[in-house]
Amino acid sequence: MRLKWVWLFVIMLLLAGCQSSYWVLEKERIGEGGSELELYANYLQMHDDVKGYQVFTISEGKKMVVVSLGSSEKDKKLEVSDVKFSPKETIVSMKRKPAPEANEKKLYILIGLDKIEGDLIVQDESGDRFEETDYQQ
């Protein structure tokens, strides 16, 4: 009987370690990330030329990375293809896909991260890096 409990504990630890450390937040739920996120989303809709990413701290010290393509690529949308963590850097890889018709002037994606280790790199599938925007919070 005791061996069953040990195995159960080991399995629980393994499953806890396999949990995703990132998520994509639906835009309808942006208010859950705080008012600063909503202000930035409005800022993106008013400024067509903003291309890149911006990092926000949300609840419990978690991070929200907002990545936008700018109006030059308004026919595209972004999807997260991979997130890798190492002690030196956190790499968020994105892929561009055709965008459905949208009522947004400018498309963006909200990526939640449990943590950012080292330098943050946001890049597309070709390895081209997005730059951090000059938005002042």
Angle made by CA atoms 137, 57, 66, in degrees to the nearest 5: 70
- Domain membership of residue 83 (yes or no) is yes
Q: 66 phi and psi, to 5 degrees?
A: -105, 120
Rounded percentage of the chain residues whose pLDDT exceeds 70: 78
pLDDT tens, residue by residue, 108-128:
899 999 999 999 999 998 889
Q: Is residue 65 assigned to a domain?
A: yes
Of the candidates 28, 65, 72, the residue with the CA atom closest to the CA atom of residue 50: 72
Q: Are the C-beta atoms of 55 and 44 separated by less than 8 Å?
A: no
Q: Is residue 8 part of a domain?
A: no
In this structure, is the dihedral angle defined by the CA atoms of residues 59, 103, 108 and 105, taken in order, positive or negative? negative
Question: What pLDDT digit, counting tens, does each position of 51-89 carry?
Answer: 999 999 998 889 999 999 877 676 778 899 999 999 999
* Res 103: pLDDT: 55
**Containing domain of residue 81, as a range?**
21-124
As for how many domains the chain has, the answer is 1
E strand map for 8-88: 22-25, 52-57, 63-68, 76-85
